[in-house]
Amino acid sequence: MQNPDREVRPPTDLQADRPHPARMYDYFLGGKDNFPADREAAERAAAGWPNVRKATLENRRFLGRAVRYLAEEAGIRQFLDIGTGIPTANNTHEVAQDVDPRSRVVYVDNDPIVLAHARALLVSAPDGMTTYIDADLREPDRILEHPELSRVLDLEQPVALMLIAILHFVPDEQDPYGIVRKLVGALPSGSYVALTQLTGDFDPYETGRLVRSYRDSGVPLQARSRAEVAPFFEGLELVEPGIEVVSRWRPDPAAPSPFTREEVSVYGAIAKVR
């Protein structure tokens, strides 16, 4: 990574005794960058909804297809990835820079373990650039005003805003729709928004158990219906096939998902800023 976040911060409490969504996500993907509290909460979630690992895997596969679409077909060379999570295979910059090594990516997350791994592992191709901002999605002004954002991305040129598996951790009382509007409002015409969101449309009982399990562990989680996902794209132009279960959004014909909509229960979509 080139020129990482230069802010000088005091030592950060890892809060290892509390589960964190990024570390739970890492555990579901088979990673090892998590603590006992994360693993215990993840196992409780899996007991409530055994399909959570399938959904996590398909969500990650959607990220790769979405970035490739944005880079190859839409011609995007700038990405703002909020809710990055702990680095694993096929990260946003790897997929984008495989298409064009000059691609630039700003990663944003608020977990100190993610920060440490991002600085070490999210290394740009020589012709491109990546950086990391330590911030929370619920602080859109802090993200948009951060000097690293303007150093790496030109907000007068199209940007892809990536909100993958993050909005369901922002309950309605924290105004997720207003947050998305604020971020989209800073993007120029020709930009794109890609997001995924847990839904109870296909298996309300089981996903309801998952939501309760997360909340019981102190992690806010909110499933949303298709009708509740649609307002995130208000005023934008949805890319075909629109709002669809992530496993069925432009699936890879060489490696189709073996899972049903009920097993996945995560919506995904990409839309263009007019």
CA 7 to chain centre: 23
Prediction pTM value: 0.86
Q: Region 46-53: what's the mean pLDDT?
A: 78
pLDDT in tens, 86-120: 666 678 998 999 999 999 999 998 877 777 766 66
The CA distance from 139 to 18, in Å, is 21
Q: Which helix (H) or strand (E) holds 140?
A: helix 140-144
Q: Which two tokens stand for residue 6?
A: 């230069």
pLDDT in tens, 167-196: 999 999 999 999 999 999 999 999 999 999
The CA distance from 9 to 5, in Å, is 10
Are 227 and 200 spatial neighbours (Cβ–Cβ below 8 Å)?
no
Query: 3-class DSSP state for residue 9?
Result: coil
From the number of C-beta atoms within 10 Å of its C-beta (0-12, 13-18, 19+), residue 172 rates as: exposed
